[in-house]
């Protein structure tokens, strides 16, 4: 009798915090193993053992770092399929491991090159931070890249949703961009335009005013003429 069960799946969560599920059940992961899995998850190409050891244990000698890596590999959880695969003298995340960050990264890339309107959960995926609270040099560049990539994708999505007549999701995407970067004028401008299109001039003016006050307070700057022109008719000559 053939086995009709679907193959076991392991999901690695890097968005909004680290987590790992196997067959939809949360798996406890030791701190050193978390860092190893996260490093291999954000770097899709195989990474040499020496580089992995140096990145994860930068203050240790090369010999000590290599020993720490061997110990961490030995401590890997065994959920059914290999979490880490060795290829010659390199390490790579197991092929059967699904990573939410990789899905989000593919979504951001797709938004930039296609006109397709994505699924309803696209905004939730793009608004999530990459491992918030993790402060490791090997992760900083990826966190910075993701922040910019998702901001661009959210703004494109907001425009696309609005063109498709879906103002609700257009607003959600623009608001997610503002929450990610409260000083990003293009996202505030999109929200002002949406409020005006919905016939909510008071809300549009409140959005503009909140942005202007924050920009002045934090950077000592004024909003651009482009966003000011949107609300000038609402300001009674001020």
Quick one: which of 2, 30, 7 has its CA closest to 96? 7
CA distance 29 to 36: 11
- Determine the pLDDT at residue 22: 87
Q: Is the pLDDT of residue 157 over 80?
A: yes
Query: In terms of pLDDT, which residue wins out, 95 or 6?
Result: 95
Same domain, yes or no: 92 and 107: no
CATH number at residue 217: 1.25.40.10
Residues 33, 143, single domain; the answer is: no
Residue 22: count of CB within 10 angstroms of its CB: 18
Looking at the fold, whether 169 and 135 belong to one and the same domain comes out as: yes
The stretch 213-223 carries a mean pLDDT of: 96
Question: Which of 32-41, 107-116, 197-206 has the lowest average pLDDT?
Answer: 107-116
Question: How far is the C-alpha of 204 from the C-alpha of 197, rounded, in Å?
Answer: 10
Same domain, 131 and 211: yes
**Count of the separate structural domains present in the chain:** 2
Tokens of 149: 């990539």
| Burial class of residue 119 (count of CB atoms within 10 Å of its CB; 0-12, 13-18, 19+) | exposed
**Taking residues 222-237, what's their average pLDDT?**
89
Given a cut of 90, is residue 24 above it in pLDDT?
A: no
DSSP-based three-state secondary structure for 93 = strand
Q: What is the pLDDT of residues 71-85, one digit of tens each?
A: 999 988 665 678 999
Which residues, 6 or more positions from 142, have their beta carbon under 8 angstroms from its beta carbon?
Answer: 42, 130
Whole-number pLDDT of residue 121: 81
- Kindly state whether residue 2 falls inside one of the protein's structural domains: no
Note whether residue 1 is domain-resident. Answer: no
The domain in which residue 54 lies consists of 10-98
| Mean local confidence (pLDDT), 197-220 | 95
């Amino acid at each position: 009798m053939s086995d009709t069960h679907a193959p076991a799946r392991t999901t690695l969560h890097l968005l909004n915090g680290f987590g790992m599920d196997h067959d939809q059940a949360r798996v406890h992961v030791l701190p050193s193993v978390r860092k190893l899995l996260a490093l291999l998850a954000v770097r899709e190409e195989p990474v040499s053992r020496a580089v992995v050891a140096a990145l994860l244990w930068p203050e240790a000698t090369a010999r000590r770092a290599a020993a720490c890596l061997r110990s961490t590999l030995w401590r890997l959880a065994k959920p059914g399929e290999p979490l880490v695969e060795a290829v010659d003298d390199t390490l790579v995340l197991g092929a059967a491991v699904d990573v939410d960050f990789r899905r989000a990264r593919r979504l951001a890339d797709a938004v930039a090159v296609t006109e397709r309107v994505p699924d309803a959960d696209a905004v939730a995926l793009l608004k999530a931070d990459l491992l918030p609270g993790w402060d490791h040099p090997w992760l900083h560049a990826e966190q910075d890249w993701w922040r910019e990539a998702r901001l661009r994708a959210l703004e494109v999505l907001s425009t696309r949703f609005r063109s498709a007549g879906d103002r609700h999701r257009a607003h959600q995407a623009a608001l997610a961009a503002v929450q990610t970067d409260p000083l990003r004028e293009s996202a505030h401008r999109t929200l002002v335009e949406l409020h005006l299109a919905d016939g909510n001039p008071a809300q549009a003016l409140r959005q503009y005013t909140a942005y202007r006050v924050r920009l002045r307070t934090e950077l000592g700057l004024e909003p651009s003429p482009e966003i000011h022109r949107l609300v000038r008719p609402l300001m009674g000559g001020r």
